[in-house]
Amino acid sequence: MLVQGAARPGWIIGVNGLAGNLGLALAAVVTGYLVKYAGWRAAFAIPGLVCLAFGVLFVLFATAESSPPAKKKASGHPIAGVTIAKLLFVMTLAATSGSLNFNFSTNANYELLVDRFQAISRDPAQIGLLLAFVYAAASLTQLVVGNLLDRYSLKGLYLAIIAMQGAFLLLAMAADGWMFYAVQFLFMAAIFGAIPFTDAMIVRFVDDTMRSRVAGMRLTVSLGASSLAVWLIGPVVKQAGFTTLLGVMVAISALTFAVVSTLPRTPAPQADR
């Protein structure tokens, strides 16, 4: 829906991802203030009403498709020597590992910040505000990545982002206080920056006639597996602490790097035009 007919799909995916993560940043601070001043029920009810309002606006203003994508002429850019099955395998593993780190970080960041930054209180509004700054600033990475995806080889960029992600998470294992807060921004920027790549792979290498099916299969597997992250945070932290949790995230980044390395190097988008 986003990229059909788009001249710069990477940029559009980046802007869309930025919007989603700015919502995450707002959620951190808005939820904190709602809980503090209006109670936990309001923290559910008010966002729910906003979602319903935007649903109505979408129905009123979304552009209707003239025909189903499956009936359109094929226009994909397959990778030489790589089957759809292998591409789907790589995309699914990369998306799953990326979603695991996303869920580990976003669901644990509140307590992680309290654990490593003892100078702050347990005031939910104050902690929410600090996290909102991290999420809002880190979200801008998606605009940078989206712009670069339209200019450079996907594989090289993806590997660079994943390498930075692992390095910053490794640094976070030994950081504390304000240093940890700074490193938290860096590893969240790398985690957010990796989000556009899977969608960019689908746009670049999967034909429009079957993109939705491939995206649906990838989302089913990756979201189903990554949802375990929410459940795993409690047992891992209780038994081994936050340092071990960060170590697990480093290992996941290494796995993602290894999986993406199996893709052949592809030319920059300009070479296709």
pLDDT for 56 = 95
The string of DSSP codes covering 149-211 is HTTS-HHHHHHHHHHHHHHHHHHHTT--HHHHHHHHHHHHHHHHHTHHHHHHHHHHHS-TTTH
CA distance 44 to 106: 18
- Identify the pLDDT of residue 253: 93
Encoding tokens for residue 26? 């707002």
Q: Residue 1: how many CB atoms within 10 A of its CB?
A: 10
CA of 109: how far to CAs of 34, 45, 102, 154, 196, in Å? 19, 24, 10, 29, 22
pTM above 0.85, yes or no: no
pLDDT by residue, tens only, the chain of 273 residues = 777 667 777 788 888 888 887 887 788 778 878 888 899 899 999 999 999 999 999 999 887 766 666 566 655 555 555 677 777 788 888 888 888 888 888 888 888 888 877 666 566 667 778 888 888 888 888 888 888 888 888 888 999 999 999 999 999 998 888 888 899 999 999 998 888 888 888 877 777 777 788 888 877 877 777 778 778 888 888 788 888 889 999 999 999 999 888 877 766 665 444
Report pLDDT for 177: 81
- Specify the amino acid at residue 12: I
Residues 6+ apart with CB under 8 A from 186: 164, 168, 171
Q: Given CATH 1.20.1250.20, say whether it is the number of domain 9-272.
A: yes
Quick check: helix, strand or coil at residue 118? coil
State whether residue 244 is helix, strand or coil.
helix
> Domain segments of the chain: what residues?
9-272
Handedness of CA 257, 249, 125, 39 (dihedral sign): positive
Distance, in Å, from the CA atom of 96 to the CA atom of 154, rounded to the nearest integer, reads 18
Contact status, residue 154 vs residue 201, Cβ threshold 8 Å = yes
**Of 27, 41, 234, which Cα lies nearest the Cα of 128?**
27
DSSP state of 79: P
What pLDDT score does 272 carry?
45
